[in-house]
Structure 1
Amino acid sequence: MLLIPCPFCGPRNESEFAFGGPVKPGRPDPNATSNADWVAYLTQVPNPLGPVQERWWHVRGCGTWLTIWRDTRTHNIVEGPADAG
């Protein structure tokens, strides 16, 4: 289990949270993007190795949305991409 650091409630068990998914880059303009790039944006799910920025909702707590960095290799929460090296 992860201990997710809530800024209001302190470290809490991940069972109190709902996973909101990875933070995604902004949506490209479909009229200014090639067909191949647009299809890739719509259909390809990134699965990076290392730190990933994720959104979590403290649904069984204070209701805050959090953004954390989690290292996919170790499942540990880290401060940012440089800390996971």
Structure 2
Amino acid sequence: MIINCPHCGPRDLAEFTYRGDASVQRPDPASGDQAAWNAYVYDRANPAGVHREIWQHSGGCRAHLVVTRNTLTHEILSVKLAGKEDMR
């Protein structure tokens, strides 16, 4: 699989580290809601189809990226730099 890093250009998957589901919403850090924190840490969907993921270009520029990928075909639909709203 080739990921097109916005800084470095097309690179092999071996240069990247998967960091997780980009759709998971972190609870308020001040929240004491144990159920919400347990769900944030442990509950993950395993979608078949289009999915947003966080990847880090660990073997290159070290940027965090949001990759929209089809989990059935591994086709990459889009790649963008992750912003604060993506890193929750």
TM over 0.5: yes
Tell me, which stretches of 5 or more residues in structure 2 are unaligned? 80-88
For 2:8, the equivalent position in structure 1 comes to 9
In structure 2, relative to structure 1, the CA distance for the partners of 1:42 and 1:62 (3 Å cut) is closer
1:72 partnered with 2:71:
yes
Worse-matched range after superposition: 19-28 or 58-67: 19-28
- The count of corresponding residues between Structure 1 and Structure 2 is 76
Q: Equivalent residue for 1:45? A: 44
Deviation at 1:43, TM superposition (A): 3.5
State the Cα distance separating 1:57 from its structure 2 match: 0.7
- The Cα offsets for residues 27-76 of structure 1, whole Å up to 9 and x where unpaired, read as 34666x7x5xx455553220111111011111111111111101011111
Structure 1 residue 22 displacement after superposition: 1.2
For the structure 1 residues 60 and 28, does the alpha-carbon distance in structure 2 shift closer, same or farther, using more than 3 Å as the test? closer
SS at match of 2:14: helix
Larger Rg: 1
Percent of aligned positions that are identical = 39
Q: Distance in 1 between matches of 2:19 and 2:69?
A: 13
Residue 26 (structure 2) pairs with residue 27 (structure 1): yes
- For structure 1, the 5+ residue unaligned runs are 81-85
